[in-house]
Structure 1
Amino acid sequence: MAQATTYLDHNATAPLRPEAREAMVAAMDALAGGGNPSSVHRAGRVAKRLVEDARASVASLVAAVPDEVVFTSGGTEANSLAITGTLASGAVERLIVVATEHASVIDTAAASGVDVKQLGVDSDGMADIAALVDDLQTDTRPALVCVMASNNETGAVQPVLQITQCVKEAGGRVHVDAVQHVGKLPLSPLGGAHTMAISAHKIGGPQGVGALVVRGKGRVEPMLRGGGQELRRRAGTENVVGIAGFGAAADKAAESQAQLQALAPLRDELEARALQIADATGHVGAVICPAAERLPNTSCIAFDGVKAETLLMALDLGGVCVSSGSACSSGKVARSHVLEAMGINESRAGGAIRVSMGWNTTDQDVERFCSALEQALKRIRPADAGHVSSEGHAVRTAGE
C-alpha cells in the first residue's frame, strides 16, 4: 500500500481547489471548438467572458476594480513587471529593496541598471523604517520601494501601511509582493501601494498564472510588446484556462479567509510540540521570529547544527512534505538569504525548515508531522551542546 502523504508546503504551492479544477475543465470544454479572447466573433466572446469574469473575481479578492488587474504568468513576472514597468514609465529614478525580498524582486532590481539601496531588517525580519526615512530624506530622487507583505520563509508581516505613508510623503512609489499574504490576512494595510503582485497557485489555483494590480492611474510600461491584451500592459494571448481557475480560486479564497486565519492556534501547537520533540531528542530547537506578527499558517523552525537537507529527506521518507526556504531555487537547499539578513547564525539557519498549512490542513496533519519529526530527530546526531553563535555568544533557546 502506498504511504499517505502529509502536505505541509502550501507556501510553495497550495493544493488545487476542487472549484478551480472544475472551472478549468469547464473552460477547456467551452474552448474546445476554438476561441481567442481578442477575437470579436462568438467563440472569441466566450473566451473573453471567461477572462473578464475571472478578472472581476480576482479584483474583488484584492479590493481593486477589474481594470486594475493585469494577468501575468505568475508572481515572478508580476514582480518583474512592477519594477521594470515603473522604471520605464519615468515615475521613479532608483530602487529601495528590503533585504528579505523574494529573489524575483532582488534579481530584477540588480539587473535594472539604476541605483539600488538594500534596506536592512531586524532580528524579527522587520524593515528598518528609520533607515528608510533617512534615505528618503537624504536622496530626494523619487524611489520605488519594494516590500513583501508577508515573508514566504518566516511568515513575518511587514508594516506596509507605515512604509507606504513614508514613501508617499517623499514622492515615491511602493510595490508590494502580496503573493503569500492574499487570502490569509486582511489586505487593508496594503491598499495604499501603487502596485501589488499576487499568484494563483498560492491560493489553490493553477500554477502558471498570476496578476499585477496597478492601482488607480498608476502607469506601468509593458515588458512584453506586440499586442493590445491586458489594456496594452502585457502583450500575448491570455492563458484562458488558467485564468478561469484563478478566478474560481479567488472566490473560494475570499470565502475561506477566516478559516485560514483560524490556523494560528494549530500553528502555535505545532511549534510548541516541535520544540518539545527537539528537547526530548537532544536537539536545540528554535522558532524563528516568534514575537513578530506572522502569517497564521507559517512556521519557520530551526534545529541547531542539523542539516536542513537531511531533515527534509527524513521527513519525506516519513510521508511529510515541508520545505527549507523558498521553493523557487531549482530544488536546491541553500542557506537562506532571509535568515542571513535577520542575523541568524549559520548553524541555526542551516537547520531551518518551513512548515506551511493551508485550506485543507487538519489536526491529523500536525499529528503526522510531529510523529515524523520525532522519528527523524532520533536518527540525526544532536548538535554539540556547546553551540556558539557567529558573534561568539552562547545562544539560549528552548531545549538548552
Structure 2
Amino acid sequence: MDRRTYLATAVGLGSGSLTGCSSYFEGENETATNDSLRDTPTADSSGTETPVPRNRLSAGSHTVTLTNPRVRASIRDAGVHVDVFAERGSQFLVLDVETDVTRVKQFPVRVVADGEPITDRLSLVGRPDTKTTGAIGFPLPVSEYEGVAVVLEADGESARWRVPDAVVELLARAPEFVVGDIEAPSSVRSGESFTASFAVTNDGSRDARFLAEFGHTLLSDTGEVEVAVPVGERRTHTSTIEPYYETNVAEIPMILDWGIDTHRTTVAVERETSTADLPPLSDALHIESSHPIDGTMVNLGVGGMARNTSTALLTNCIIVASGDVGDRRYSGITRRDRLGPDQIWEWEVAFGDEADAQRAPVRNIEIEARAESSS
C-alpha cells in the first residue's frame, strides 16, 4: 500500500470522499513560494480592489482566520484538564484560529495533503482565550508532503488555505525523545519540599521541545514542563515539589507523562515523633514485656506491660514505640498522667491507618519509657 492509499484509508474515507480533492492544489507547483499569508485583492461593486487575507476562509455560514502555523511533537490537549497529548509516528500541525460565532472546536475544518484528506480530528491546544479564539492541533503522520492545506467546508461550499512550505518541511522531520527515569529521594519528612528530576535525549532529526506532565498526583491535575532539547543532546530538568499534599499521606506518587509513555515512582513520607518536649527517659518506668499488634481487631502497632519500679509517684508517663512495617518505619506514643509505686500499666501504641494499609507484621521494635518523678 503506498502512502496516498494509506492516508485515505487511515482516516476512514472511501474513494467517494476524495472527489474534487485533487483540485485543492491546482495551479500550485511544489516549488511555490511561501505566499500563503499574503493578501489577494478582490474588487467590490465600484471596482475598488480590497485586500482579502488568504488565511481568512469563508464557507457557507462559517468564517475563520488562521495564523501562526507551527509543528509540535506533542500538545496540551484541553479536556476536563489540560493534558499532554502525543501519538506515535505523528506530529501536530498547530494553528491559532479566530472564528466569527462558532466555537473554536466546532467549525467544520479538515487537513488535506497532496490532494488527499488526512484528518478532520482536531484538539484544542491549551485553554481557548475566548469561545471563538484559541489554538487547534491536527495529528499528521510524519512524512514528506508536497503540499498541505487546511480546508473549511460548510453548506456545500469550501475554502482552503495552503500551509507555508517551511512549515510543511518540518512535518517530515521529527524529534525522538529517550526519557530517563524519575530521580527523587526515597523518602522525605512530612511537610518538607524536595527536588525531583529527569533527563531526556533527542535522537531525532530536528530540535524540539519535550513537553510532559511532571510532579505529584495528589492534586486533581499535574502541571506541565517544557524542555528544549537540540538534536543529539541530553537535557536534565529539575522541579521542586512543594508540600501542598495533605499531612496524613503515607507516600507521594510521582508521574512523568509525555503522552506516549509514562514513568512513575513514589516518595515515602516519614513521620518522626519529636522528643524535644517530652519528659526525660526513666529507668523507674520499666518495660516488663512488649509484643507487636497485628491490626486484626485494633490498629497495628506495639503493646505491652510497664511497671513503676520506684517508691515515688511517676507523672507524665509516656511510652514511645517504633517499628518497621513493610519497607517503612512508623512510630507513635501513648500517655498516662500518673503511675503509683509498683503499679502495672498495660499500654498500646497504634501506628495508624497508613501502617494498617501495609498489611505486614511489625518488625525491629524499639521502645522508650519516659516519666517525671514526684520525689
Judge same fold: TM > 0.5, yes or no: no
Specify the structure having the higher radius of gyration (Cα).
Answer: 2
- Structure with bigger strand share is 2
Task: Flag the structure with more relative contact order, 1 or 2, with Cα contacts below 8 A and sequence separation at least 6.
Answer: 1
Q: Please report the TM-score for the alignment, with normalisation by the length of structure 1.
A: 0.26
Q: Please report the TM-score for the alignment, with normalisation by the length of structure 2.
A: 0.27
- Structure with bigger helix share is 1
